Amino acid sequence: MELLFSLLSFVLAWWQPAPQPASLAEVVAPVVRVIDGDTIDVLLNGTTTRIRYIGIDTPETYHTQSPQCYSREAAARNEALVAGKEVRLVADQEDKDKYERLLRYVYVGDTFVNEALVKEGYAKPMPIKPNTLHAAEFKAWADEAAASRQGLWSVCK
């Protein structure tokens, strides 16, 4: 029995679960650039990595000939929330989108950035399966923002 216990202790001390790839883990990273209202670049493992916020969509700054309605405001608000700060990046089901950007929920301290952008009227919900952990919340927050004519809901058609 003592030999079995010693062997078991040795195996447990030696065995470590395989580390999750850095791209899938919940990580903290400094923001190096704000691209627009729902996309940032962070420094991850010494490499600049593009992050696309999950579940939301802000008007496009770089849209064909001219920026979409409220795109500059959304980009400015995102910059105010995250520029020069460390963000906590949390995955859902899929790691990357078709453009190879990491898909993440983004937090600065206790602020859920995706939530703030929707509640304040800078973003609309954009649920894409299977990354729908907060889809119902995003819809409810957007409905409240639209009803109170927050942000883009006050000026964009």
What is the SS3 assignment for 25? Answer: coil
Alpha-carbon gap, residue 109 to 62, rounded angstroms: 29
CA distances from 47 to 52, 90, 101, 125 (A): 16, 18, 13, 29
Question: Left if phi > 0, otherwise alpha if psi is -120 to 50, otherwise beta: which for 156?
Answer: beta
Tell me the two tokens of residue 23. 């791209």
Which residues are catalytically annotated?
A: 52, 60, 101
Alpha-carbon gap, residue 78 to 59, rounded angstroms: 12
Alpha-carbon gap, residue 64 to 93, rounded angstroms: 31
